[in-house]
């Protein structure tokens, strides 16, 4: 989510632009390619960060003539941090709030995900020529029905992937599944699994020879988050029951930054709680808005 802030004498007001990027790569792809084309799905979060998010920030900045507040959750955090390593992008951002940051994934505790990584499901899918991951397709629907109805209840399935969510409203699961998960690319899954295996926050690894052609080096370049300027205020929220954004990996991210972000740690929260907890407003969002307000008030006196 991208926000700008306007001030009057009585209150701070945020105008928001909610951006969905999971199922698309770039404007070029949307214009020239159909979703049935292999090339349409030739992207990972790397392209989402350096093209989609970067272009959205430029657009909002151009329209509003103001610096932007950025809010990201999970994959949105790695997109944000990767984009912030680019000086021309970070200069347009006033502050950022990152929920469940996953820039490092080598300490995830999700047995479900670790099992998929172990059998190299990502590589199998790509080898089979499957480039789109769509749980709304006929095959995807059958898999979801099988997992939720035949073998394991959906709230348990979600917990197996994301960690135990303390305050998620289980009765709303069927409603949420009408809209989630969005289609993604097999390449994106492969990139995320590379992060788990390698323990690095780096660009997509094509293999030595293709890396040489694309990056002029045998290994993919890392996103150096120490290049994110200390002038960018950061806020991070993470939970003790999060099986994806493990506290050890969050600390790895914090050590890589030159700045010291404001932190919110909630011991009982899992990965989904930061979005859908019945207590999220008081537990999370009030503190996040307090942070944004404090940044805006400080900048208004400069």
| Active site residues per annotation | 74, 242, 271
Contact partners, residue 146, CB within 8 Å, separation at least 6: none
- Which tokens go with 136? 């709304």
How far is C-alpha 147 from the chain's CA centre? 25
Q: Is 167 exposed, middle or buried (0-12, 13-18, 19+ CB in 10 A)?
A: middle
DSSP 156-224: HHHHHHH---SSB-GGGHHHHHTT-SPPEEHHHHHHHHHHHHH---BS----HHHHHHHHSSSSPPB--
Instruction: Please give the backbone phi and psi of residue 22, each rounded to the nearest 5 degrees, phi first.
Output: -65, -30
């Amino acid at each position: 989510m991208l926000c700008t802030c306007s001030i009057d004498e009585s209150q701070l007001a945020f105008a928001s632009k909610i951006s969905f990027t999971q199922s698309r790569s770039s404007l070029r792809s949307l214009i020239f390619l159909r979703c049935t084309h292999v090339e349409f799905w030739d992207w990972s979060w790397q392209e989402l960060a350096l093209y989609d998010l970067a272009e959205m920030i430029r657009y909002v900045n151009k329209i509003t003539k103001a610096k932007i507040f950025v809010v990201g959750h999970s994959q949105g955090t790695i997109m944000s941090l990767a984009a912030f390593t680019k000086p021309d992008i970070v200069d347009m951002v006033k502050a950022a709030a990152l929920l469940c940051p996953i820039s490092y994934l080598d300490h995830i505790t999700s047995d479900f995900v670790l099992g998929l990584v172990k059998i190299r499901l990502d590589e199998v899918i790509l080898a089979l020529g499957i480039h789109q991951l769509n749980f709304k397709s006929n095959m995807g629907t059958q898999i979801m029905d099988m997992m939720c109805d035949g073998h394991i209840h959906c709230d348990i399935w979600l917990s197996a992937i994301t960690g135990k969510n303390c305050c998620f409203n289980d009765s709303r699961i069927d409603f949420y599944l009408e809209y989630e998960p969005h289609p993604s690319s097999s390449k994106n899954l492969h990139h995320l699994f590379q992060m788990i295996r390698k323990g690095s926050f780096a660009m997509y690894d094509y293999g030595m020879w293709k890396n040489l052609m694309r990056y002029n080096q045998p290994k993919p370049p890392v996103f150096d988050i120490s290049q994110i300027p200390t002038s960018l205020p950061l806020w991070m929220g993470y939970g003790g029951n999060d099986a994806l954004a493990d506290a050890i990996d969050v600390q790895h991210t914090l050590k890589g930054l030159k700045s010291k972000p404001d932190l919110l740690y909630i011991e009982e929260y899992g990965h989904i709680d930061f979005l859908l907890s019945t207590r999220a407003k008081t537990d999370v969002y009030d503190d996040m808005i307090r942070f944004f307000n404090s940044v805006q008030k400080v900048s208004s006196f400069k």
